[in-house]
Structure 1
Amino acid sequence: MTQPTFTARLDAPNLLVMEITGQMDSVAMEIALNMLVPVVKDMRHGGALMHAKGVEWPTLGAIGVELRHWAQLMAMIRKVDRIAVLTDQGWVQNLAAVESLLVPNLEIRSFAPDAEAAARAWLSGSVPEAGVTP
């Protein structure tokens, strides 16, 4: 297990920027969720930019924490219309594509780690699908 790190901040009133590395366990997931709640509190139809580098599949404990906080997670997700994931990890890209199909009114796209400008443009709606990883 790689030590997890998670940060979340607003770059603009409706742009959440997150960085995640390592493997989330139950403690890290609790901390991450508690960190996100106040950050996204006032967002409406926002976007999220996620830097995912060296991410590992979460532990069962972390998944349990997500399930326990399901209603809170869904309330946060309703505040976001688009998520851009910067990663070169195939399984993270695939998971993002599946989640985009499963969560109503949420679009998730993967971008190469060095395509932050394209990801931000997509989040703002100023560029169509440019830079999107299939």
Structure 2
Amino acid sequence: MLEFITHPADHVVAMKIGGVVSARELQQAIDAIEAAKRNHPRISLLAELDGLRWMTLTALLKDVGYGLTQLSDLERYHRVAVITDKEWIKHLAHLEDRLFKALDIHTFPHREYAGALAWVGALPRGEHENPEEDGYHGA
């Protein structure tokens, strides 16, 4: 199961993932990521992982294939927040953070859900897409 979560920042693709993820659901996530990349110079991802058991074989192959196509485009990703209380997922996220230096991946326990939403929604100074919303009115 993969369902989208609303997030107040337009550049964030947020989803809740649990149970078994199908190739169709994974394609919906890929489509959402690609749409965000068309509309924003930098995007962030949030994944709330509750009870993730596995992916179907076709979903796993699609995930690996899409991931490989993103290696040359990692600078487009700003932050990745993983919300989980599962130790094995935390370890996997920390490994990915070390392997992919261009990504800023952090894990958050469920009790810090609000902090994860705030962290993943923040953009680096000077990269706000609508400076008026941040109180900046130019020099």
**By the TM > 0.5 criterion, same fold?**
yes
C-alpha RMSD of the superposition:
2.7
TM-score, length basis structure 1: 0.71
Which structure shows the higher helix fraction? 2
CA distance in 2, matches of 1:9, 1:98: 27
Structure 2 unaligned segments of length 5 or more: list them. Answer: 125-139
Q: Name 1:27's counterpart in structure 2.
A: 24
Instruction: Return the letter of the residue paired with 2:103.
Output: L
Report if the CA contact (8 A) 2:11-2:36 is conserved. Answer: no
Aligned to 1:99: 96
Instruction: State, as a whole percentage, how many aligned pairs show the same letter.
Output: 23
Larger radius of gyration: 2
- Return the match for 1:37 from 14, 24, 34: 34
Distance 1:78 1:31 in 2: 22
State how far apart, in whole Å, the 2-side matches of 1:75 and 1:12 are.
25
Distance 1:18 1:102 in 2: 23
* CA–CA separation in structure 2 for the residues paired with 1:10 and 1:77: 22
Would the alpha carbon gap of residues 42 and 87 (structure 1) be closer, same or farther in structure 2, given more than 3 Å must change?
same
Unaligned runs of 5+ in 1: 127-134
Q: Which residue is equivalent to 1:64?
A: 61
Number of matched pairs: 123
